[in-house]
């Protein structure tokens, strides 16, 4: 089963852990060369961020792609003029809870009844639309894709407050079990504290 394959891939990956600023940071290096970096809150065990990168076909190290957490803001050079995104543009990010995958889209100043949020099972994605045609977003749920689990429209809900649309998708029991197993693996890792040079790879 695909869930088991993903657990096996996580267990067989090379892992390095570091404790810094109240967070446990784990770096995974998979056998196919892909890298995953996660940050967990030390007190609550909550996943704060997850990002991925892989080498290009020419062997060049790729840019980190954020899956969970705040989007990366790449620092601009001080000596050049830079075209930047308008700060009032919608900002899309994922921030999960223990029981749900959750996406937040800030800077959407429309009433809740303007939004339509649905599942497209054939395309394996969630679609957000507005009746005023001001916002459209289509996105997948990588956790379900990795585990080859179907999308279920009844697990989807949304709310809107403070110019922010919050879309929630209840995690299926297979994902909850997988996350418990992953957390056990994470807790086994002895993380070096900041300043310790020797970061053991296990």
Residue pair 163/3 in contact (Cβ under 8 Å)? The answer is no
> 3-class SS at 88?
coil
Q: What is the DSSP letter of 133?
A: S
Annotate 188-199 with b (16+ C-beta within 10 A) or e (fewer): ebebbeeeeeee
88 phi and psi angles, rounded to 5 deg: -95, 0
**In the structure encoding, which two tokens stand for residue 15, read together?**
């892992």
pTM for the complete prediction? 0.80
- Name the CA radius of gyration of the chain, rounded: 19
For 118-158, what is each residue's pLDDT tens digit? 999 889 999 999 999 999 999 999 999 989 999 999 999 99
pLDDT digits (tens, 9 = 90+) for 9-58: 888 889 888 988 888 899 999 988 899 999 998 888 888 999 999 888 77
How far is 64 from 102, CA to CA, in rounded Å? 21
In degrees, rounded to 5, the angle at the alpha carbon of residue 191 between the alpha carbons of residues 33 and 29 is 5
Q: Give the pLDDT confidence of 63-92 residue by residue, as tens digits.
A: 899 999 887 765 544 444 566 656 788 999
């Amino acid at each position: 089963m695909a869930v088991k394959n993903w657990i096996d891939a996580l267990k067989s990956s090379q892992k390095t852990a570091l404790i810094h600023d109240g967070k446990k940071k784990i770096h995974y290096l998979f056998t196919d060369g892909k890298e995953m970096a996660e940050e967990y809150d030390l007190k609550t065990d909550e996943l704060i961020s997850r990002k991925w990168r892989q080498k290009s076909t020419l062997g060049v190290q790729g840019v980190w792609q954020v899956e969970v957490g705040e989007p990366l803001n790449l620092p601009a050079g001080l000596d050049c003029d830079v075209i930047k995104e308008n700060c009032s543009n919608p900002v899309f990010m994922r921030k999960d809870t223990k029981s749900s995958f959750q996406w937040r889209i800030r800077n959407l100043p429309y009433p809740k009844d303007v939004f339509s949020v649905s599942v497209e099972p054939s395309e394996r994605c969630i679609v957000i639309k507005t009746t005023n045609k001001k916002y459209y977003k289509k996105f997948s749920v990588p956790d379900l894709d990795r585990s080859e689990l179907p999308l279920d429209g009844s697990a989807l809900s949304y709310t809107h407050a403070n110019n922010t649309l919050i879309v929630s998708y209840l995690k299926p029991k297979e994902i909850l079990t997988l996350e418990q197993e992953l957390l056990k693996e994470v807790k086994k890792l002895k993380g070096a504290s900041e300043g310790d040079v020797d970061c053991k790879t296990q």
